[in-house]
Structure 1
């Protein structure tokens, strides 16, 4: 189990008054992300497909852009057609996204660089300090630092007695 999952389990076991909802908005990251900042990628291996204009990074992939870090076993980078630059990133195989004090994990993350939007899916868990939320899907808007949790959202609300 990952650190975030263990943290969330401990949080759930120690808290009271569970609440579930279908969708909710939360803040994500300490600051707004500069989506025009360079994207740095490190990995164990790289395969480039000249015909499709895509690159596949595998093995301990870490992507950095400003204060944001995304890690995954595999990331497909799709370059813009006719323009220099990255159109989108598709991270799979268990993804961790960290921005400031917030961290999220899920099975997949799709990052549309031009729009500044990351969509995480597959058992998403968001940890913010002592709070944790889980959902089927999380959409992060990097331009304004917000996230929307959707699909069987669950969190624990602390009462004043704890």
Structure 2
């Protein structure tokens, strides 16, 4: 089980870093994401109320008060599912390749000064596409805030898109609040 936890922790951290990078993208006007690498020099700690592995489904699931921590970066959610590719390897021994990660039931990600929240998120390993969605997706850095309902980030080239919640009225638009003092940071 320990090797499964290690492999799962690495993918969870990749998704965690992806989510926090999404917040960075929202506020960095001159910087561009060029991909993310895990910080191999810091341990990753995952805690949850329950951990299950289903080899037949190539699935590992953390349920209840899921917390993933590496250094100053923290992710919290109600559930985290790790889907493994079924073409060889074993989820139990940690030798299987990760296909995708799904996080749901209230996502909170904090990395240094950025915070991202949403109802659910996915990270596809092959396409390197992160999607964070919900009734309200919020990305913040200090007093700067951007909200919408679906954030899609292509990690390989740094392109990001935040979609509105649809419908009419003020609730159907992407909203951004930028404070003048944030330029001096």
TM-score tier (shorter) = 0.5 to 0.7
Provide the rounded CA distance (Å) in 2 between the counterparts of 1:112 and 1:96: 19
Tell whether 2:144 aligns with 1:139: no
Query: 2:56 is matched with which residue?
Result: 51
Tell me the TM-score normalised to structure 1 length. 0.66
Query: 1:26 is matched with which residue?
Result: 26
* CA deviation string 1:10-64 (max 9, x = no partner): xxxxxxxxxxxxxxx72579x7521696976432211222211111111121235
Q: Please list, as runs of the form range in 1=range in 2, the aligned pairs for 1:65-80 lying within 5 A after superposition.
A: 68-80=73-85
Q: Please list, as runs of the form range in 1=range in 2, the aligned pairs for 1:100-111 lying within 5 A after superposition.
A: 100-111=112-123
Tell me the TM-score normalised to structure 2 length. 0.59
Query: 1:21 is matched with which residue?
Result: none
Unaligned runs of 5+ in 2: 1-24, 89-95, 165-172
- The size of the alignment, in residue pairs, is 136
Unaligned runs of 5+ in 1: 1-24
Cα distance change of structure 1 residues 39 and 86 upon mapping to structure 2, 3 Å threshold: farther
DSSP 3-state at the match of 2:127: coil
Query: 1:60 is matched with which residue?
Result: 65
Provide the rounded CA distance (Å) in 2 between the counterparts of 1:127 and 1:47: 33
* Correspondent of 2:177 among 148, 156, 162: 156
Cα distance change of structure 1 residues 98 and 116 upon mapping to structure 2, 3 Å threshold: farther
Query: 1:20 is matched with which residue?
Result: none
* CA deviation string 1:77-98 (max 9, x = no partner): 1012225222111111101123
Cα distance change of structure 1 residues 105 and 64 upon mapping to structure 2, 3 Å threshold: same
Q: Which runs of 4+ in 1 moved over 6 A?
A: 36-39
What is the Cα-based RMSD across aligned positions, in Å? 3.4
